[in-house]
Amino acid sequence: MKSLLIDSDREDQMTPKTGKTPLLKQLYVQVLLAIVIGGVVGALFPAFATNDWIKLLGDGFIKLIKMMIAPIIFFTVVSGIAHIQDAKKVGRVGVKALIYFEVVSTFALALGLLVGNLLKPGSGFGGKIPDASAVASFAKQAGEMKSVDFVMHIIPDSVVGAFAKGDILQVLLFSILFGFSLMVLGERGRAMRAFIDDSAHAVFGVIAIVMKAAPVGAFGAMAFTVGKYGPQALGSLIGLIGTFYLTAALFVFVVLGVIARMAGFSIFKFVKYIKDEILIVLGTSSSESALPLLMEKLERLGCSKPVVGLVVPTGYSFNLDGTNIYMTLATLFIAQAMGVDLDFGEQMTILIVAMLTSKGASGISGAGFITLAATLAVVNPALVPGMAIVFGIDKFMSECRALTNFVGNGVATIVVSWWEKELDHDMLKEALNKRIDPSDVETAVTTG
């Protein structure tokens, strides 16, 4: 299936470029330089880096992207569903995606437990617990979190409200219903389908414009983070950060690597293919900042439009691989730091509880910390004050969570497309081998 930005009469844009883009004009190079410069400025001039205007650069860029997420999900999902003939297909894709999410999430949780038990990153902490008052609000929110509230939250109070708040699951629900309605209209809905398709082109055109500011956003976000939190914030907790990043790397390149190989592609080539988006996520600590480009690039890899439209938004709430690793690893770290021995049964409880709580807090500000509080409260309430140990470095951990979640959702979409037999393997091979330049996404928008 063709990408939203590439019509059948524009296939000439898929041909290789005759000359390479200069290095400094490539987005990933610009973002990487911005991250490095931002880190240096934050470390050397913390007072300047924590200025509200510097913070604005990062926050402003993320808000520019977030304002487009709801319309992108709407137009992508509606267009995908409205053009299919089999209504059962949407439900089938959804079920397959949820099965995949649960299986892979279990691997992520188990890997966190395994590495935490082997390396014991909290064993040398000495049992000193900082002031727990800073985490009291997170513990309170975790106590108030209920599964039924999460389900009710998926249903918006109004359609306009769902778009105004930018709630991914609420927009996704309405988009699926609207897509089904448009599909049932058949020939009478042809004009509306054409309008939806054309609107999608325009929306992605806005994204191409906004992405020009990605290096500025990455600089502002990284400068503010380093200026406010560290490098002194790392201190004795560098072991936990290193362990978490190591575990996440093992998950991506081993677990997801095996899954990718089964689906017929290389995880290393895929990571290279989305390097621009990975650096944007790294610089902004937000996986949402690269969601629109991920959806576009997945279509260019040969994934069908309906699968991309359903799996990517759903995965942002149900396929949180990085968050799952964090849940189990951080719980073990806190227990080890506090000198609390968790037996096998309690560790299995961590796995089960974290699987549920990671879904229940989706879409909530500070969700990673809230789910950690909920998990600790069930496993052993005495561990909840220990959250203060990792509170100061959570910002550095959130970057790794976002990166792992981001790559995991990309792999999930390709695998579900392959499972659904709607993956164009020729397009996949062409794109991953760089015979199609992925930077043409922007060219396709601006020249169309």
Helix ranges, 361-438 (H): 367-379, 387-391, 394-419, 425-432
Nearest alpha carbon to residue 171 among 159, 184, 179: 159
Phi-psi region of 365 (alpha: psi -120 to 50; beta: other; left: phi over 0): beta
3-state secondary structure of 303: strand
Nearest alpha carbon to residue 108 among 324, 300, 401: 324
DSSP state of 340: P
CA distances 32 to 216, 229, 315, Å, are 11, 20, 26
CA distances 139 to 112, 159, 343, Å, are 22, 32, 23
Q: How far apart are CA 134 and CA 138, in angstroms?
A: 9
Single-letter residue type at 324? N
Contact 410, 274 (CB under 8 A): yes
285-304 per-position pLDDT tens digit:
777 778 888 988 999 999 98
- Radius of gyration of the CA atoms of the chain, in A: 22
Number of domains making up the chain? 1
Domain span at residue 190 reads: 8-447
3-state secondary structure of 380: coil
φ, ψ for residue 424 (rounded to 5)?
Answer: -80, 100
Predicted pLDDT at 110: 93
Residue 197 inside a domain? The answer is yes
Residue 2 inside a domain? The answer is no
Specify the CATH number for the domain of residue 348: 1.10.3860.10
**Total residues found in the chain within this entry:** 448
Residue 3 inside a domain? The answer is no
Predicted pLDDT at 411: 96
Residues of the chain with pLDDT under 70: 1-21, 85-87, 124-150, 229-237, 357-368, 392, 435-448
- Only one residue has tokens 């989305």, namely 274
Predicted pLDDT at 250: 95
Q: How far apart are CA 253 and CA 182, in angstroms?
A: 41
Residue 1 inside a domain? The answer is no
pTM for the model: 0.76
Q: How far apart are CA 73 and CA 11, in angstroms?
A: 24
Q: How far apart are CA 239 and CA 221, in angstroms?
A: 24
Residue 395 inside a domain? The answer is yes
Predicted pLDDT at 10: 37
Q: How far apart are CA 354 and CA 344, in angstroms?
A: 15
Residues 6+ apart with CB under 8 A from 311: 93, 97, 409, 412, 413, 416
Residues 6+ apart with CB under 8 A from 187: none
Residue 145 inside a domain? The answer is yes
Helix ranges, 134-255 (H): 136-144, 147-154, 159-165, 168-185, 190-210, 214-229, 238-250
Residue 146 inside a domain? The answer is yes
Contact 104, 255 (CB under 8 A): yes
Residue 229 inside a domain? The answer is yes
Neighbour tally for 84: CB within 10 Å: 16
Residues 6+ apart with CB under 8 A from 91: none
